[in-house]
Amino acid sequence: MEAGEYALMDEQEGSMWWYRALHKRLIAALRPVRGRVLDAGCGTGGFLRAAGQARPDLALSGLEWDAAAAARAIAKSGAAVARGSVNALPFASDTFDAAISADVLCHAQVDPAATLGELYRILRPGGFVVVNMPAYDWLLSAHDHRVHNARRMDAAQVREMLQKAGFVRVRTRYWNSLLLPIMILERKILNRGEEADSDVKAYPPLLNRALLSVLDIEQAALPALPFGGSVMATGERPA
């Protein structure tokens, strides 16, 4: 990503509604997991910090390509963060009990098949993977270009991608469903130009709380809806 986008992420991921909702969902997905967990493409460490606070029983590690972002992640989370590419993970096989890949497989420099193959390799038999992907290729926008996203996928595409990598018991679910109409309006009509501001920014506190509350209600009280701005998937390496 651009250096400015890493700076925005570092500033906002602890408070911005979207990051907080994402982190809650990732932590919920890890509920059955014990042991060592890798955040592959950890950025500036927001999830590592949130997960460390919510699950102090987990042994958390991160991997990040950008040196400045990796340093920020270490300072923010206190976790061990290695530098390297998700396309060729610098870890031994059968090392981790779970791995996270949150909005990483969408990046232009990432080979999704290679990365999923690497995540499969470093997981122990029976290990658990959690993937989050931005949904719908037709929603590619100026923000995607800023953060070097090259692809967005629907749930069927994400499921097929994990199954081809060898993962079993793959489950997918859309989220950010209730806010999808606003997302479409903002991305495709109001801010469709290439010079549009980043989606990562400081929101007015009342609006930030309202948007987070909508996603909290969606997570807690609604069944899975067949659409949404993101897709979260889980799978297992066969035991």
Question: Directed axis angle between helix 17-29 and helix 46-54, to 10°?
Answer: 50
SS (H, E, C) 101-114: EECCCCECCCCHHH
Q: Per residue in 85-94, pLDDT tens?
A: 999 999 999 9
pLDDT tens per residue across span 169-210: 999 999 999 999 999 998 888 776 666 677 889 999 999 999
pTM: 0.94
* The CATH number of domain 3-236, selected from 3.40.50.300, 3.40.50.2300, 3.30.429.10, 3.40.50.150: 3.40.50.150
Give CA–CA dist 90/102, Å, rounded.
18
- Please report, for the chain, the start and end positions of each structural domain, with discontinuous segments joined by +: 3-236
Phi and psi angles of residue 161, each rounded to the nearest 5 degrees, phi first: -60, -45
Identify the DSSP state of 109: T
Beta bridge partners of 81: 62
pLDDT per residue over 133-163, tens digit each?
Answer: 999 999 998 888 878 899 999 999 999 999 9
124 within 8 A of 96, measured Cβ to Cβ:
yes
